[in-house]
Amino acid sequence: MDYKATIKSYFNFTKSQRLGLVLLLTLIVVFQIAFYFIDFSQPEKNASEKQQWLALQSEIDSLKQNVPTSSYKIYPFNPNFITDFKGYKLGMTVEQIDRLLAFRKQGKFANSPKEFQQVTGISDSLLNAISPYFKFPDWVNKKNSGAKSNWVDYSKTNYYKKEKVVILDINSATKEDLMKVYGIGDGLSERILKQKEVFGEFVSMEQMSDVWGLSPEVIEKLNQSFKIINNPKIKKVNINNASIKELGQFPYFRYPISKNIVTYRSMNGDIKIEDLTKIKDFPVDKIKIIALYLEF
């Protein structure tokens, strides 16, 4: 085969084909020149409107710079009763707040800025910044100043009597009884009573941690005033006979757990209290409380 003749045949053009190629090349060159020398950009129609927006933007930016930054305003307070939130806003670390709370749990009080620093371990700069707002009781101020003329320590007198704390049964507590606890208002007292209605009655004070909105500090105060005194009057759930629907009505169970209980029961026979931990997804962290509501 003559390869040269074959290749040469590809470059043999007729007169009209040669004319078309010349015309195509001419057009390409003309368009390239036009592309580099002619400005095809469209004139901006809304130039004046854009200038107005730019002027407004610069004014907005200047207003943003003049907006005062919000600051946490401090009012006089007793440093012995600082909450987690207030301590955080004052600039205290979590460890420093925890030291104060642990100190207070022992029934002790810091009676001067220096004692407060020794307990919490805050820096001198932070102490200087917040100590002007410390407000100690009058008797503490008089004691610290050495004044003895008007201050009397009534705790050492014969007629001084410490108020006795009356402990009530949480299941018989009224809304008014609950609101006597510092930190519990109208809303929290309603939640506690509604939670009791859900279970029939409480079986443990540990159930207070399930009430939304109760902080550990308030729960501690609740435990000082309320206990489970009388045997709770509750309708127990028979875990070996109840259906999935009946188990699902128990507040600590939901459909998946109820289904797992019935499945385990069908495969292993009657469930005993020690079998609860073997059930898939069973809330073992509350097993002591749940068991008191169950009948085996």
pLDDT digits (tens, 9 = 90+) for 247-267: 999 999 989 999 999 999 999
- Kindly report the number of other CB atoms within 10 A of residue 97's CB atom: 20
Instruction: Choose between 257 and 16: higher pLDDT.
Output: 257
Stronger pLDDT, 68 or 296, i.e. the higher one? 296
Q: Where are the domains of the chain?
A: 79-156, 168-227, 237-295
In the CATH scheme, what architecture does the domain 237-295 have?
Answer: Orthogonal Bundle (1.10)
Percent of the chain that is helix, strand, coil (3-state, to 5): 60, 5, 40
pLDDT band at 271 (very low <50, low <70, confident <90, very high): very high
Of residues 254, 182, 261, the one with CA closest to residue 224: 182
Q: Do domains 168-227 and 237-295 have the same CATH topology?
A: yes
Task: Residue 127: count other Cβ atoms within 10 Å of its Cβ.
Answer: 15
Q: What is the pTM of this model?
A: 0.45
| CATH tag, 168-227 | 1.10.150.320
Please tell me whether residue 77 adopts helix, strand or coil conformation: strand
Distance CA 82, CA 255 (A): 43
Residue 277 has what DSSP assignment? Answer: G
State the DSSP H helix or E strand holding residue 161, giving kind and residue range, or none if neither.
none
Residue 295's identity, in one-letter code, is E
